[in-house]
Amino acid sequence: MKTMKGPGLFLAQFAGDEAPFNSLDAIGRWAAALGYKGVQIPSWDARLFDLAKAAESDAYCDEVSGTLAQYGLSITELSTHLQGQLVAVHPAFDEAFDGFAAPAVRGNPKARQEWAVAQMKLAAKASRRLGLTANVSFTGALAWPFLYPWPQRPAGLIETAFAELGRRWRPILDAFDEAGVDLCYEIHPGEDVHDGATFERFVDAVGGHRRACINYDPSHFLLQQLDYLAFIDLYHERIRAFHAKDAEFNPTGRVGVYGGYEPWLDRAGRFRSLGDGQVDFDGIFSKLAQYDYDSWAVLEWECALKHPEQGAREGAEFIAAHIIRVTEKAFDDFAAGGTDEAANRRMLGLD
């Protein structure tokens, strides 16, 4: 059995223009002081990281790793959520997602998509140079506007969407395979891959690619009212990354799963700081330990109520308290009588 690593912290929600959040050195020192052992780096944030340089320079990667190591920190994964989102964008969302891209390709969906693919391939190379085994990302979406089957979807629409999604991702997955890195998709509303059924469609569309893996985040499943513990039973072989993020779902006579276009504070389903929501983390950490998950538990902080710095401080303590140091011995070893085949046969009435 294996013990997972942690606590880790996803830096995306904390990076900013003010110290200590405006440089990798300063934010690393801050995270370590809270008790974190690793950080997940948003690869698009130039204040913290240069993806293009990391893809080509061992010296730069050594510098990044060394900056964090002085505070006892490791890199858990690189995040490419924003770039992954742009691999597949339905025209309805062109303008909304344009800000995720480099300024030079905004307003040009074809150029933007090519830029996103190039970014993903840089992330594969950078991950390899950094000695990482996983990257976390999104799939993007072509079929999301057709999620609800009204108006009735024409035959073949979803199949065509996933075939195209697979066509776009297959060469990226091949690049990650060449780098020896798993590409772990966060299964998330707004992506075509947003639950177990759609993940299965996607895996089929990329030919069962061994690098098509999962960044497990139970918060998105709770808001969909999906059984997030059974999900681990079904897909644990492909779970290679873990966002520890909490959520709550409190439906009323006014709003339910769809949220009524309400702001986060007033939705029935909303994200909460770790430990403040309804997610059964005792069950999750037990399930992951049962299936020998040995990668990182990374806090992704999002909450409509609590200040992020309080959430980060409490989150480190929460994850550390939930990581199960797996046992190397059976609890009933004291009663073991050894192996005696002759005695076994007598007990079974075989002699």
pLDDT over 90, % of the chain: 93
CB contact at 8 A, 296 and 76: yes
Mean pLDDT of 137-142: 98
97 pLDDT higher than 80? yes
- Residue among 6, 72, 2, 1 at smallest CA distance from 317: 6
CATH code (residue 36): 3.20.20.150
Residue 339 pLDDT: 76
337 pLDDT higher than 80? no
Q: How far, in Å, CA of 194 to CA of 138, rounded? A: 10
Q: How far, in Å, CA of 344 to CA of 351, rounded? A: 10
pLDDT tens digit string along 15-50? 999 999 999 999 999 999 999 999 999 999 999 999
Residue 129 pLDDT: 98
Tokens matching residue 139: 């799939």
Residue 1 pLDDT: 82
User: Residue 280 carries which side chain, given as an amino acid letter?
Assistant: D
Q: Grade residue 111 by pLDDT with cuts at 50, 70 and 90.
A: very high
Tokens matching residue 258: 């769809």
54 pLDDT higher than 90? yes
Residue 328 pLDDT: 79
Q: Which domain holds residue 295?
A: 5-347
Residue 331 pLDDT: 66
Residue 351 pLDDT: 77
Residue 334 pLDDT: 62
Per the structure, the count of domains in the chain is 1
Mean pLDDT over all residues of the chain?
A: 96
Residue 332 pLDDT: 67
Q: Grade residue 336 by pLDDT with cuts at 50, 70 and 90.
A: low
Residue 251 pLDDT: 98
pLDDT tens digit string along 299-322? 999 999 999 999 999 999 999 999
Q: How far, in Å, CA of 49 to CA of 288, rounded? A: 30
pLDDT tens digit string along 280-293? 999 999 999 999 99
Q: What are phi and psi of 138, to 5 degrees?
A: -115, 160
DSSP reduced 3-state for 245: coil
Q: What is the pTM of this model?
A: 0.95
Mean pLDDT of 62-77: 98
Give 70-74 contacts, CB < 8 A, sequence gap 24+. Answer: 71/28, 71/29, 71/31, 71/32, 72/32, 72/37, 73/28, 73/31, 73/32, 73/36, 73/37, 73/38, 73/39, 74/5, 74/37, 74/38, 74/39
Q: Grade residue 343 by pLDDT with cuts at 50, 70 and 90.
A: confident
Q: How far, in Å, CA of 316 to CA of 196, rounded? A: 29
128 pLDDT higher than 80? yes
